[in-house]
Amino acid sequence: MKLLLKDGNVINPLNKTINIQDILIVDGKVAAIGRELAASLDLDLSRSTSGTGFQPVVFNDEETIKDACPTISVINAKGKYVVPGLIDMHVHLREPGFEEKETIATGTQAAARGGFTGIVCMPNTEPPADNQAVISFIQQVAQKTGVVNVFPVGTITQGRAGKELSEMASLAAQGVVAFSDDGAPVVNAKLMRHAMEYAKMLDLPVISHCEEPALAAQGMMHEGFTSTMLGLKGIPAAAEEVMVARDIILANLTGCHLHIAHVSTAGSVELVRAAKEKGIKVTCEVTPHHFTLTDEAVSSYDPQTKVNPPLRSKADVVALQAGLKDGTIDVIATDHAPHTQEEKELEFELAPFGMVGLETAVGLVWTKLVIPGILTSCEAVAKMTVNPARILNLKKGLIEIGAEADITVIDPELTCVVKPEEFASKGRNTPFSGWSLKGLPVATIVGGEVKWIK
């Protein structure tokens, strides 16, 4: 079966253009792009599965398929943005080891509902993804139960303990796209230097969780006026910035591609900006919750607002948005971190860090960045497609003839209220419950197959 996306506003994030075009998909690949493709290619739409709006046609068995045998399936994308499949380069799928929080099946379903055709899963599983066997397990389960592309990350150190390097070459041979001890910093600078040297030889980036544990110890939220008023131990901005500075210095020394995860402070943005001006190979990401919320959201003592790094000050949020606008921040990633309801119902001090983000990301990007004019639609799409693809050396992120047909359709006018009880993710831990968001995904196509449609 062929698939035709008709009359969509096709975004090319590389050259920052938007054109009304049709996209023809054949055998999972982009076969043609242009105007009025049905006529120009003599496509027979008389028996198409096109309906009004975005209504999928479901065939339940082979006989039905043979009987219907449509020439082509059509999605009417008029008034919608048709963009390269979104890539989230920071996701915690929890499997193996924490399947009560999330599984590869439920996590990828949440990704599809969020418009993501590819997700990068962090290695803080149990056992950790520090060997070929665990990576192979993730790949096999993703192949069997996943509905979007899953790209695993291998650990920097064995067991994420920060003492000995993982077998990085064997992890690379198994297909990891990066190395990270995410959730735990590599405190030993000499060990981090060696990790970067090996990663450079393997042509893979190091994704750094920048946190100085002695400064952050027992902290619950951002250190500042609000933490003092609430009586909660704070985590100073310096706890992040000290490690950002150290790892930039090491990246300069080794020539390794350093990617800094979930930047949250104005100082971190400035350090990255200065490093880029010097030609150091460093990139970074920000989460929707960090460019949207401030530490004042913690005033209710709601454990859904407890994340690491913590929600920062208004000045930090302004700096993050400025970093997005001027290109200092390359990527928007969710740091999707599901937890059970029981865990997140504990008092603030005892609840775990983290919130889910796959199913609210696009709405927050559009509502908080695109509509206010901080980013254009092209710029926003670039930070969720071609930029993460380039950082991870993936042949993804663009809609072009011959490319695998990973495509997301976004309705910029669609408004919806966030209802965690309707999430596909097992995680319901979000502070955005009840928020009205505008600009939402309505179709997710992976390898030419419609994996989710609204």
Per mean pLDDT, which of 45-54, 71-80, 121-130 is the most reliable?
121-130
Place of tokens 């985590």: 235
**In 131-186, at which residue ranges do the beta strands (DSSP E only) sit?**
149-152
Place of tokens 């066997």: 133
Candidates 247, 330, 335, 406; catalytic one: 335
Quote the pLDDT of residue 233: 97
- Number of residues assigned to the chain: 454
pLDDT digits (tens, 9 = 90+) for 308-329: 999 999 999 999 999 999 999 9
Record the tokens describing residue 9, joined without a space: 């506003």
Quote the pLDDT of residue 50: 55
Judge contact between 405 and 317, C-beta under 8 A.
no
pLDDT digits (tens, 9 = 90+) for 386-426: 999 999 999 999 999 999 999 999 999 999 999 999 999 99
Quote the pLDDT of residue 62: 37
Give the contacts of 286 (CB within 8 A, at least 6 positions apart): 262, 263, 264, 320, 323, 324, 329, 331, 332, 333
Quote the pLDDT of residue 38: 78
Is residue 22 flagged as an active site residue?
A: no
Nearest alpha-carbon partner for 299 in 216, 225, 215, 239:
225
Q: Give percent of the chain with pLDDT exceeding 90.
A: 91
* Average pLDDT of the segment spanning 366-387: 98
Record the tokens describing residue 78, joined without a space: 């008029």
Quote the pLDDT of residue 40: 79
The total number of structural domains in the chain stands at 1
CA separation, residue 431 to residues 164, 242, 300 (Å):
37, 29, 11
Quote the pLDDT of residue 57: 38
Quote the pLDDT of residue 70: 54
Say if residue 2's pLDDT is above 70.
yes
CA distance 75 to 73: 7
Quote the pLDDT of residue 64: 38
Least confident of 39-43, 342-346, 351-355: 39-43
Enclosing domain of residue 250: 85-391
The answer to the question of residue 366 being in a domain is yes
The overall average pLDDT reported for the chain is 94
* The one-letter amino acid at 43: L
pLDDT digits (tens, 9 = 90+) for 154-168: 999 999 999 999 999
The answer to the question of residue 42 being in a domain is no
Torsion angles phi and psi, residue 318, rounded to 5: -60, -40
Are β-strands 221-222 and 17-26 bridged in parallel, bridged antiparallel, or unpaired? Answer: unpaired
The answer to the question of residue 266 being in a domain is yes
Quote the pLDDT of residue 228: 97
The answer to the question of residue 298 being in a domain is yes
Quote the pLDDT of residue 47: 62
The answer to the question of residue 213 being in a domain is yes
The answer to the question of residue 26 being in a domain is no
Quote the pLDDT of residue 65: 33
pLDDT digits (tens, 9 = 90+) for 31-74: 999 998 878 777 777 666 654 344 433 333 334 333 444 568 99
CA distance 360 to 291: 13
pLDDT digits (tens, 9 = 90+) for 202-254: 999 999 999 999 999 999 999 999 999 999 999 999 999 999 999 999 999 99
Place of tokens 């105007």: 35
Nearest alpha-carbon partner for 108 in 454, 448, 446:
446
Torsion angles phi and psi, residue 216, rounded to 5: -90, -10
Say if residue 87's pLDDT is above 60.
yes
Give the contacts of 195 (CB within 8 A, at least 6 positions apart): 156, 157, 165, 168, 179, 186, 206
Quote the pLDDT of residue 21: 96
* Average pLDDT of the segment spanning 95-99: 98
Quote the pLDDT of residue 51: 45
Torsion angles phi and psi, residue 338, rounded to 5: -75, 145
Record the tokens describing residue 200, joined without a space: 């450079």
Record the tokens describing residue 338, joined without a space: 């599901």
399 conformational bin, left if phi > 0, alpha if psi -120 to 50, beta if neither = beta
- Confidence class for position 347, pLDDT limits 50, 70, 90: very high
Quote the pLDDT of residue 44: 72
The answer to the question of residue 104 being in a domain is yes
CA distance 230 to 107: 34
Quote the pLDDT of residue 49: 62
* Average pLDDT of the segment spanning 85-111: 98
The answer to the question of residue 364 being in a domain is yes
CATH number of the domain to which 141 belongs: 3.20.20.140
